[in-house]
Structure 1
Amino acid sequence: MNITLHKSEITNRQSEVAITGSKSESNRLLLLQALYPEFKLENVSNSDDSNLMTNALSSEEKIVDIHHAGTAMRFLTAYFSIREGRETILTGSKRMKERPIKILVEALKELGAEISYEENEGYPPIKLQGKKLTKNKVSLQANVSSQYISALLLIASKLENGIELTLEGEITSVPYIKMTLALLDEIGIESSFIGNTIIVKPTTNNQQPKTLTVESDWSSASYYFSIVALCQPGTEITLSSYKEHSLQGDSSLVEIYKHFGVSTIFNGNSMTLKKEGNEGKPLALDLVNAPDIAQTIAVTCFALGISCDLTGLHTLKIKETDRLVALKTEIEKLGGEVEITDKSLHLSASKTIKEMVPIATYNDHRMAMAFAPLALKTNLIIEDAMVVSKSYPTFWDDLESIGFQISK
């Protein structure tokens, strides 16, 4: 379904929005809950990805289809490899079959896992014969997706001898690795991360029953940072539930959006974003630790006529789409000028934004949501708008609640 976003303004200068739990935290905790059923979870993400993760973890079917859910594919590859006596075929959408899984499969095989490819070498679908893994030493290139690393860490405490994971080279996406280790610590699993070596100790005892509350999703908050940046000074939007000292790498938004005149005030479990003043000068950022907010930042800069150089984006090429190519294509349709490499994006300042441009979303939720704030500057069309359900199903309703004019 396509929707039209009519040129809008935030009429209520003090809006409030409640955002569902973080997809990143939810998917990690859902897997840990499957391994340790004594835990209860609150504020779990209502995203498609987390629903798919929940269903896959409880499925007794031989074939498990996770559609577009990349995080689920990585985490479940590790999970089903240790489900002793169970054979599972893990598959997904056409795009998922083009997304590499070989690095994780090879690491699991190094630990003794039994995994084979059903179609193309190095790509889903894969067949997993669950078994007890007794080896504990494995190495990975440090610049790979952190989801490969987290997948190994999440199952590590259930391996007979735990895991000693050596990361070779310069580590990327450190916040996501630290998030995983912090969640392990929260449920009493012992780990260490010293230099380039991560150790997770095995846990044989049952854990104490506990309820864990998932923090709301910072990636979803990014679109409101963008909206406030595009508003008049004095505009405020309050979001819940957020921690000032968050585990999520995308919480770097607080510092980044100061550049656009947005201040962040924490009060209990909520944060208020306020437009204080004018936007800044050209922006240069290394987003290696927070690549998921690159689309939001690029569109914010385009909307404000600010040039930017964004680097550290090599993982964007293997997401739901090649996000660098998609950003270049859609921003240039709107009148912008973009250059990309395989790991960076360079946007030239432009004061012109074309009207009623249809924005293609490429089966990518973040393309739809990142471009939505442009409705504060122009009329535009978002194609396949319900793709947002992958991470934020109520996104369009929440935008309407703060003053966006949307027609379907």
Structure 2
Amino acid sequence: MKLHLSGPENTLLKDTIKITGSKSESNRSLLLSALYPGIKIENLSNSDDAQVMAAGLKQREGTVDIHHAGTAMRFLTGYFAALEGSDVLLTGSKRMTERPIKILVDALNELGANISYEKEEGYPPLRIKGKKLSKNRVRLPANISSQYISSLLLIAPSLENGLELELVGKITSVPYIQMTLGLLTELGIDSDFRGNTISVKPKASVNPVTLVVESDWSSASYFYSIVALSEVGTEITLSAYKENSLQGDSVLKEIYTVFGVETSFGENRITLKKVPNNPTSFIERDLANAPDIAQTIAVTCFGMGIGCHLTGLHTLKIKETDRLEALNTELTKLGADISVTDKTLTLGTSTLMNKDVAIDTYNDHRMAMAFAPLALRTSLVINDAMVVTKSYPDFWNDLQKLHFKVREL
């Protein structure tokens, strides 16, 4: 589906939006509830990824197709490896078969797992025959996707001897590791993260508990961008959010102050307000701990005529698409002065913006949503717009609540 977008006639916006539970927290909670049946989950994400994850956890044999869901691929690899008696072929979309997973597979096989490659070595599809994993020590490079690390940490308490995980080198995406450990703590599972070593104690069962999933800060990022691009006085309230969030993307509340967006916390909600501020012409930011908001920040900068240099983006090369090259291509269409490397993005200041440009989304939900706020500055077309269902199925409806004009082509 193609959608034509243009902004509301009045860019002084005021409304309240309820955002679905975090995809990252939901998938972690789903796996833990499969390991420990006494766990209940509230405010579960209604995203495609969470639905695929929930369906995969119900299988023990046959083909498990997770489509575009990278988190599900990594988490289910660990889950099935340690699920005694399971025998599955874990596969996904064409893009998923191009996304590397060798580091995780090697680590699990070192722990005693039985995982083999059906086609190209190092990539899905994977043949996994679940068995008891009794070894409890393994090493991983520290600068890889945190999902590899979390896949191991999530199954760690179910292993008879727990797990000691040594991370080699500089650790990236620490907040996502902390999210995983925070959920283990909520369940009464002992863990320790010192220096480059994480240890998790075994736990055969947990007391019945309800995990309440916080709404998704990555999804909130698009409303931060909308407020930044709107008039002073704009106020958008989002629910349900916690001030002491486990999510790394909650760093938005600090980052967006430079764009004149003030965040205030109420009971399970945040209010974003556009306030007067001294405009800057250039920002620099290391996003190694929050790479999922890089697209939003780059587009916000372009929309406001602000230059930027974003670093720590090496994991974006292996996401749903090569997000750095995708940003380079699509922002260039709009008239941006942009350059990228394999781990950085640099944007020059620009006051010109092309109209009615068709934005390609590359099977990547974040490409569609990151570019949508630019409708406040120019009209544009979003190709394959329903790709947003991967993480935020209600996105276009919520934009219409804010009086954006959303028209199917």
TM-score, with length taken from structure 1:
0.99
8 Å Cα contact 1:68-1:92 kept in structure 2: yes
The answer to whether 1:342 aligns with 2:345 is no
Per the alignment, residue 20 of structure 1 pairs with: 20
SS, match of residue 302 in structure 1: helix
Query: How far off is 1:403 after superposition?
Result: 1.2
2:213 paired with 1:214 = yes
Residue 3 of structure 1 and its aligned partner are, at CA, apart by: 0.3
The superposition leaves residues 122-160 of structure 1 with CA deviations (integer Å, 9 ceiling, x where unpaired) of 000000110000000000010010000000000000111
Is the CA contact 1:136–1:161 (under 8 Å) kept in the aligned structure 2? yes
What is the CA deviation profile of residues 281-326 of structure 1, one whole-angstrom value per residue up to 9, with x for unaligned ones? 3110000000000000000000000000000000000000000000
What's 1:141 paired with?
Answer: 141
Shift of 1:85: 1.3
2:226 matched to 1:227?
yes
Matches within 5 A, 1:152-191: 152-191=152-191
Q: Report if aligned partners of 1:10, 1:402 keep a CA contact under 8 Å in 2.
A: no
For 2:29 and 2:210, the matched residues in 1 are separated by 11
Match of 1:244 in 2: 243
C-alpha distance in 2, partners of 1:9/1:190?
Answer: 54
Displacement of 1:9: 4.4
Residues 209 and 337 of structure 1: is their aligned pair in 2 closer, same or farther, counting only changes over 3 Å? same
Distance 1:12 1:401, change over 3 A: farther
The alpha-carbon deviation at position 86 of structure 1 amounts to: 1.5
Deviation string 1:258-302 (CA, Å, 9 cap, x unpaired) is 000000000110000000024433110000000000000000000
Q: Distance between the aligned counterparts of 1:253 and 1:385, measured in 2?
A: 24
State how far apart, in whole Å, the 2-side matches of 1:166 and 1:173 are: 15
Name the SS for the 2:158 alignment partner. coil
User: Is structure 2 residue 394 aligned with structure 1 residue 391?
Assistant: no
Alignment partners' CA distance in 2, 1:114 and 1:5:
49
Unaligned runs of 5+ in 1: none
SS in 1 for 2:37: coil
CA contact (8 A) 2:61 2:87 kept: no
Q: Secondary structure at the match of 1:157?
A: helix
Measure, in 1, the Cα distance between the counterparts of 2:37 and 2:10: 44
Q: Could you tell me how far apart the structure 1 residues matched to 2:144 and 2:6 are?
A: 40
2:88 alignment counterpart:
88
Q: For residues 174 and 86 of structure 2, what CA distance do their matches in structure 1 show?
A: 33
C-alpha distance in 2 between matches for 1:7 and 1:155: 46
Q: Return the letter of the residue paired with 2:403.
A: G
Query: Per-residue deviation at 1:371?
Result: 0.2
Matched with 1:355 is 355
- Inter-partner Cα distance in structure 1 for 2:61 and 2:393: 27
Query: Which residue of 1 is the match for residue 260 of structure 2?
Result: 261
How many residues align? The count is 407
Q: Deviation at 1:60?
A: 4.2
Give yes or no for contact 1:309–1:344 (8 Å, CA) kept in 2. yes
* 1:14 positional shift: 2.2
Deviates more, 1:2-11 or 1:278-287: 2-11
CA deviations on 1:96-133 (whole Å, 9 max, x unpaired) are 00000000000001100010000000000000110000
Where structure 2 has 5 or more consecutive residues not aligned to the other structure, the ranges are none
Specify the code of the residue in structure 1 equivalent to 2:178: K
Work out whether residues 8 and 402 of structure 2, in 8 Å CA contact, stay in contact via their aligned partners in 1. Answer: no
- Residue matched to 1:306: 306
1:151 corresponds to which residue? 151
Whole-angstrom CA distance in 2 between matches of 1:339 and 1:9: 33
Contact 1:10 1:404 in 2 (8 A): no
Q: Distance in 1 between matches of 2:10 and 2:223?
A: 11
Instruction: Judge conservation of contact 1:10–1:231 (CA < 8 Å) in 2.
Output: no
Matching residue's letter, 1:365: H
Q: Secondary structure at the match of 2:310?
A: strand
Match of 2:328, SS state, is helix
Q: Are the counterparts in 1 of residues 60 and 88 from structure 2 also a CA contact under 8 Å?
A: no
SS in 2 for 1:316: helix
Q: CA offset at residue 12 of structure 1?
A: 6.4
Q: Give the fraction of aligned pairs with identical amino acids, expressed as a percent.
A: 65
TM-score, length-normalised on structure 2? Answer: 0.98
Shift in alpha-carbon separation, 1:274–1:137, aligned structure 2, 3 A:
same
Q: Report the RMSD for the aligned CA atoms in angstroms.
A: 0.9
